[in-house]
Amino acid sequence: LAVAGLVLAGRFLLRPLFRIIGNLGEREMFVFAALFTVVAAAAIMEALGLSTALGAFVAGVMLADSPYRHELEADVEPFRSILLVLFFLAVGMRLDLHAIAGRPFFVIGMALALIATKAVIICGIGMAFRMKWRAALALGLLLSQGGEFGFVLF
């Protein structure tokens, strides 16, 4: 519900805001508005007890829906590598190596259980869409690994 609310707010608030900024011709304001949107969405999600990473992701979805998407991409491009480094730095700093080393079989077992569960669900979805069994199985196995974003949420 919070995600849907943010997306709707983005559609009805961000589009007029970026239209005004576009008419002013101030490119720096695009960057400021985009960064403010990300921080605001992250703060709202945190206030609701959800992940700030989810808020940043939703902000990205809201900004991608803007008619000024290409201008925003060009203006934010110089920050991309720095933010990517900070993202993985934050992920690495949250990793508790002592907890993993203390229970390696539990960690490996849970990771395998997660991958197997996702593979079965994705394979089932493929079968529901009338894919051949082998293609659905391949889809399930290829898409079942955990991504970086899911890792950050926990």
Give the long-range contacts of residues 54-57, CB within 8 A, separation 24 or more: 54/3, 54/153, 55/6, 57/149
pTM over 0.85: no
pLDDT at residue number 71: 82
Smallest CA-to-CA distance from 66 within 27, 28, 12, 25 is with 12
The reported pLDDT for the residue numbered 151 is 57
Closest CA to 111 of 154, 148, 153, 145: 145
- Res 110 pLDDT > 80: yes
Whole-angstrom Cα distance, residue 37 to residue 55?
Answer: 10
Nearest to 91 by CA among 146, 33, 15, 154: 154
Res. 7: pLDDT tops 60: yes
Report the mean per-residue pLDDT for the chain: 85
Q: Report the pLDDT value the prediction gives residue 149, as an integer from 0 to 100.
A: 60
Spell out a b/e string for 87-103, using b for 16 or more CB atoms within 10 Å of the CB, else e.
eeeeeeeeeeeeeeeee
- The predicted-structure confidence for 87-106, as pLDDT tens digits, reads as follows 778 778 888 889 889 999 99
